[in-house]
Structure 1
Amino acid sequence: MSRICTICARGGSKGVKNKNVKLLLNMPLIAHSINQAKKSELFDVVAVSSDNEEILNISKQYGADIVVERPKEMATDNAAKLPVIQHCVESAEKIVGYRFDTIVDLDATSPLRSLEDIKNATAMLENSGASNLITGAKSRRSPYFNLVEINKQGYVGLSKQLDTAITRRQDAPICYDMNASIYAWTRQSLLTSDSVFQSETILFEMPEERSIDIDSALDFEIVSMLANKRGELI
């Protein structure tokens, strides 16, 4: 079983400037994901994709096996991530000369995951026969109970209606927030799909305290606080 870990980090960032190289526990943010991938001992190759020279150089410094320069058209504000991962995998395969069976992508902006999360999510995919896997945490809001939408007439209603009204949040169907932490695919499912969601996508559940994705300065403060409490992110 051959495996590759991809870590995709764009140079531009709207919410937190240069967040992928911003220091967290005295290390650039992206370095934590590289370190986790290496420490897991799961992967033949850890590959970083970026359009930014500083990110690529830092990634080499912290142990990335392969760095892939991302095409400019894949580094815009509107560019989808899936083609970036596909490009990274195919570029790495050309370098090493063989194909990978399992692809695991670690999002650089979700560093609170544990090594066990990575190992267990990877094992879950490989033992399931499913096409791909995403990670998430139980949602604090429910579209069946307290998540609402405003319709075209300007009125508010629940996002999802059931035949029988829900009077307690605990009685609503369980929903999950995607935490953008770990994605995993079989090679075929990754390279033949244009969507994260497929007919055989499964979910690996993570706790809320390891599920914060850094999109804002406040997110970074929260992640910093939790990281300092843990002492290290492995």
Structure 2
Amino acid sequence: MHLATVLARGGSKGVPGKNIRLIAGKPLIAHTVEHALAAGVFDAVAVSSDSADILAAGKKAGATHLVERPAEMASDEAGKLPAIRHCVAAIEQELGCVFETITDLQPTSPTRHPDDIRAAVAMQKRLGVSNVISGTPAKSSPYFNLVELQADGSVALSKPPAADVVRRQDAPRCFDLNGSIYVWRRDALMDGDGLWFADTHLYEMPAERSVDIDTELDFAFADFVMRR
């Protein structure tokens, strides 16, 4: 069995109330719930939140399960993994089952496509790896034009290459994690220690499907992309 989780806190400093704010005519969280349902690969789609309004919006969008997130898992300092695990445990207890995979879908990524979800889930299944994470080609390369500030105030390449790189195209390919899709094998999620494993793989998405809303500018840009 396969579970999709959508975790959304009620508090947001960058864009207040963003998870239920209308974008392209729907609450932001509704787009991700609908993506999960349209992907057609999940036995359950759960929304976890500390906000009754977010849970109500998730239910209206079609989520099959709602989980009230404890306050201690919804603070600015709280990590996301404990909240995902709490959601998984709640749904497994409710259904009396153990899921094979869990796919966490970020609600602030409304420009993804259900095909992206299907492809990432299929990649994890085909490879049998601990997890698959989504990303998009990086705008800056640590081998070419991403620099770090040194103690003396100078700057240097974040990751000096073994040989001179005169064109960005000649540097190793690098990606920005877009946060959109995380597909976990259950044991890796529930018993693992963090995001990274020796067999972590990346599912590549184009920039236009990788918008992550964290600011008002992001929100306006995502709305523009979606309305196009």
Identify the TM-score tier after normalising by the shorter chain.
over 0.9
> 1:48 — aligned with what?
47
In the alignment of these two chains, the number of paired residues is 228
Q: 1:169 — aligned with what?
A: 168
List per-residue Cα deviations over 1:96-122 (Å, max 9, x = no partner). 110110111110000111111010100
* Alpha-carbon contact 1:7-1:108 (below 8 Å) kept: yes
Hey, what's the Cα distance between the residues in 1 that align with 2:39 and 2:115?
8
How far apart in 2 are the matches of 1:196 and 1:215? Answer: 21
Distance (whole Å) between structure 1 residues aligned to residue 211 and residue 25 of structure 2? 19
Q: With the length of structure 1 as denominator, give the TM-score of the two structures.
A: 0.96
Task: Tell me which residue corresponds to 1:232.
Answer: none
Aligned equivalents of 1:169 and 1:59: distance in 2?
42
The alpha carbon displacement at 1:140 in A equals 1.4
Query: Which runs of 5 or more structure 1 residues have no equivalent in the other structure?
Result: 230-234
Displacement of 1:170 after TM fit? Answer: 1.0
Aligned-partner residue type, residue 70 of structure 2:
P
Q: CA deviation at 1:25?
A: 1.6
1:89-128 equivalent positions in 2, closer than 5 A = 89-128=88-127
Secondary structure at 1:195 match in 2: coil
Are the counterparts in 2 of residues 82 and 194 from structure 1 also a CA contact under 8 Å?
no
Q: Hey, what does 1:5 align to over in structure 2?
A: 4
Which residue of structure 2 lines up, in the alignment, with residue 143 of structure 1? 142
Instruction: Give the deviation of 1:194 after TM superposition.
Output: 2.7
> Unpaired runs of 5+ in structure 2?
none
Deviations 1:101-152 (A, max 9, x none): 0111110000111111010100000110111010001111100100001011
Secondary structure, counterpart of 1:120 in structure 2: helix
3-state SS of 1:59 partner: helix
| Alpha-carbon shift at residue 26 of structure 1 (Å) | 1.3
Residue 16 (structure 2) aligns with? 17
The secondary structure found in structure 2 opposite 1:12 is coil
Report deviation, 1:200: 1.2
| Root mean square deviation of aligned Cα | 0.8
Which residue of 2 is the match for residue 181 of structure 1?
A: 180
Q: Secondary structure at the match of 1:178?
A: strand
Counterpart of 2:159 in structure 1 is 160
Give the letter for the 1:134 counterpart: I
Aligned residues of 1:138 and 1:175 also touching (Cα < 8 A) = yes
Identity %: 49
Residues 151-209 of structure 1, C-alpha deviations (whole Å, 9 max, x = no match):
11111111001221211111111000000100000111110123111111100000111
- Partners of 2:18 and 2:85 lie apart in 1 by 23
Mapped partners of 2:207, 2:161: distance in 1: 27
In the alignment, structure 1 residue 202 sits paired with structure 2 residue 201: yes
TM-score if structure 2 supplies the norm length?
0.98
- Asked if 1:31 corresponds to 2:30, the answer is yes
The worse-fitting range, judged by mean Cα deviation, of 160-169 and 205-214 is 160-169
Which amino acid in 2 is paired with 1:38? L
Structure 1 residue 41, shift from structure 2 partner: 1.4
**Whole-angstrom CA distance in 1 between matches of 2:168 and 2:139:** 10
* C-alpha distance in 1 between matches for 2:73 and 2:38: 29
- Aligned to 2:144, the other structure's residue is in SS state coil
Aligned counterparts of 1:108 and 1:49: Cα–Cα separation in 2: 11
Q: CA deviation at 1:21?
A: 0.4
Greater alpha carbon shift after TM alignment, 189-198 vs 217-226: 189-198
